[in-house]
Structure 1
Amino acid sequence: MNKANIFSLIFVGIAVAAILSSCQDKRSRGLEYAPNMYYPIAFNPDQKNKNFADGKTAQLPPNNTTPVGFTRYDQFADTPEGYLEASNNMVNPLVVNKKNLLEGQQLYIAMCAPCHGEKGAGNGKIVELGKYPAPPAYASGMSSRGGAMKDLTDGKIYHTMQYGLNLMGSYASQLSPEERWKVVMYVHELQKGQ
């Protein structure tokens, strides 16, 4: 026998052994890469779970708990009384500095300027379309809740961003609490009417 026949015979033998060994268990998929991707250790949310009395994996969080990274803002209700209470009790916790003002300006331009205008004069691009009324100017306008816009406190501005007012919707899901405080800081600059 020559070398070619010997290698052919060995190859055929290995192939037959591989085929026969793979046919033993019909349920087996053979060698799996990262089997925990196919068979997860954790329960899926819609799976039955014997670890809980009701048999559900997806459980409601315990009462009075706060998710990690979430800041609660339910101490002031979405009412006129809550608005006044926020005005009296909320103060911006951030330090007024160049960095915070610049970030507040960037956030204001992205989120608020389309309606309020870049200088806070109530002449944003949305207002220019003529379909929506202009919001009051920060330096000279009057608030729909009473009082001059230039006299709005930290709490009033924050409360308005949290819950919205009139045609302005809530920005609670678009801006984190820290980002809202930076916008409050920048709005105070616009109230000066530079």
Structure 2
Amino acid sequence: MKKYIKFSIVLLIAATMTSCGDKRKPQVQYMPDMYVSVPYNTNGAAGINGKPVNMKPVAGTIARGNVPYEYADTNAEYERAKLELKSPLETNEANLENGKKMYDIYCISCHGKKGDGNGVLSQREKFEGIPNYKDRDITEGNIYHVIMYGKGLMGSHASQLTDKERWQVVQYVEKLRNDLLK
């Protein structure tokens, strides 16, 4: 028994001596990246992998790929968009196909497959009064304007869709409206 006590004391002394190592030298760390983070100059040109981090845009500039929308969110601008705004995209099968994909993601639950306002949310009476495209005097300009800002219970979808995708949805909505008018 004394043998075990002596061995335990020696082991305790050895562990104590090794743990009191030189504090000036780096010790072994389990996850060093958790203890010592790499500092980045957030506004520096070299940033992470040569790409700037947290660069703030210059006031009055437009982000690359974004197109400014010159119509405000008012009824007068809605009417102006209805008269003036025209699609820059050519009407073709590729645009209609992608417009249908985007419509199926963002619009079908309220407006329905045919654009008759009889989507799943309307059938379940979550929203009432969803317009039928056939009953509305709509143009590509005001369809785009409504996608940008929303109208009534419909919220804006500007953040979900790119400029091109919005125009593709407009083309598909016009196709649905023409199908309903037949």
TM-score greater than 0.5 by the shorter chain: yes
Residues 1:132 and 1:24: Cα distance change in structure 2 (over 3 Å): same
Measure the CA separation in 2 of the matches of 1:132 and 1:90. 29
- Corresponding position: 1:70 with 2:66: yes
Q: 1:167 aligns with which of 139, 153, 165?
A: 153
Q: CA RMSD in A?
A: 3.2
User: Of the candidates 156, 166, 169, which is equivalent to residue 183 of structure 1?
Assistant: 169
The alpha carbon displacement at 1:103 in A equals 0.8
Of residues 111, 115, 126, the one that matches 1:120 is 115
Distance across 2 between alignment mates of 1:64 and 1:39? 35
User: Does the 8 A contact of 1:115 with 1:134 survive in 2?
Assistant: no
Deviation string 1:3-48 (CA, Å, 9 cap, x unpaired) is xxxxxxxxxxxxxxxxxxxx77726468xxxx9xx66463247xxx
CA contact (8 A) 2:143 2:170 kept: yes
1:99 maps onto 2:94 in alignment: yes
Of all paired residues, the percent bearing the same amino acid is 35
In the alignment, structure 2 segments of 5+ residues that lack a partner are: 1-20, 44-52
Which residue in the other structure is 2:41 paired with?
Answer: 43
CA displacement, residues 132-157 of structure 1 (integer Å, 9 cap, x when unaligned): 11312112x24xxxxx3xxx111100
With over 3 angstroms needed to count, the CA separation of the structure-2 counterparts of 1:41 and 1:71, relative to structure 1, is: farther
1:109 Cα deviation from its structure 2 partner: 1.3
Change in CA separation of 1:28 and 1:158 when aligned onto 2, cut-off 3 Å: same
Instruction: State whether residues 42 and 55 of structure 2, in contact with CA within 8 Å, keep that contact through their aligned partners in structure 1.
Output: no
The match for 2:105 is 110
Unaligned 5+ residue runs, structure 1? 1-22, 46-56, 143-147
Alignment coverage as a number of residue pairs: 153
TM-score by length of 2: 0.70
Q: Which has the higher helix share?
A: 2
1:112 alignment partner AA: C
The 3 A distance-change label for structure 1 pair 167 and 189 is same
* Within-5 A mapping of 1:17-36: 26=24, 28=26
